[in-house]
């Protein structure tokens, strides 16, 4: 979800207001996914690299994340939206971790939309952590190294038991993965849209889904 800062700067507004407008775009996009029948949505809300931003911006952004959790969880539960957070949540502190755990528990019964929010997430760190866990299990005799395959490796990722993404949408004109779901995106389709994230809405999502629907997905195999 790119472009919050640029959106605010173009309007002479504080960056924090750009992130606030971005949160409204999150709400619109979630509603649009429910209406379109999308079963899984993963939002890259805060990367592991975002901790390197100016301290006041990090404070504003993490504060907004906590506020969003508190204000939206009841709606998620009511609307059948299951929330899960992937990433190094411990970096946000005990209070925020407790709120995340509570939000996940309250929404655990949702079946209309599986909403994953990537917080303090970095795909390289995720892969390294999975490799470390596998190495520790092998060292302790709980895992046969010869039995390691793609499926067993994937079970050690944050996204264990979740489907790989079919479509990745990148906003604001950027055309790179930026350390997002590197393992899981092996056969994902990509749509790049020039719109800044705070301006994102149902029409942009619908356009991306139409584009995706025209694609022929071969997963590395030949057809015909």
Contact partners, residue 14, CB within 8 Å, separation at least 6: 8
User: How many degrees, rounded to 5, is the angle at CA 169 between CA 222 and CA 154?
Assistant: 65
Parallel, antiparallel or unpaired: strands 40-47 and 167-170: unpaired
Active-site positions read: 2, 50
What distance in Å separates the CA atoms of residue 92 and residue 51, rounded to the nearest whole number?
Answer: 10
Q: How many CA atoms lie within 13 A of 35 on its CB side?
A: 12
DSSP result, 46-92: EEGGGGGS-HHHHHHHHHHHHHHHHHHHHHHHHHTEEEEEES-GGGG
């Amino acid at each position: 979800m790119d472009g919050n800062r640029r959106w605010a700067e173009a309007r002479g507004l504080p960056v924090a207001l750009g992130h606030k407008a971005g949160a409204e775009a999150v709400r619109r996009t979630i509603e649009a996914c429910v209406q379109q029948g999308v079963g899984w949505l993963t939002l890259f809300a805060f990367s592991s690299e975002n901790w390197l931003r100016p301290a006041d911006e990090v404070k504003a952004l993490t504060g907004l994340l906590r506020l969003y959790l508190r204000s939206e969880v009841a709606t998620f539960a009511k609307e059948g939206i299951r929330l899960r957070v992937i990433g190094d949540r411990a970096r946000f502190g005990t209070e925020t971790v407790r709120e995340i755990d509570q939000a996940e528990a309250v929404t655990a019964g949702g079946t209309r939309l599986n909403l994953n929010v990537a917080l303090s997430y970095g795909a390289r760190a995720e892969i390294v952590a999975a490799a470390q866990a596998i190495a520790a299990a092998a060292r302790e005799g709980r895992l046969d190294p010869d039995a390691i395959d793609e499926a067993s490796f994937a079970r050690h990722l944050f996204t264990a038991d979740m489907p790989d993404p079919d479509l990745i949408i990148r906003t604001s004109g950027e055309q790179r993965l930026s350390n997002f779901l590197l393992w899981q995106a092996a056969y994902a389709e990509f749509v790049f849209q020039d719109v800044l994230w705070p301006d994102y809405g149902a029409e942009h999502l619908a356009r991306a889904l139409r584009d995706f629907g025209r694609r022929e997905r071969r997963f590395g195999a030949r057809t015909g």
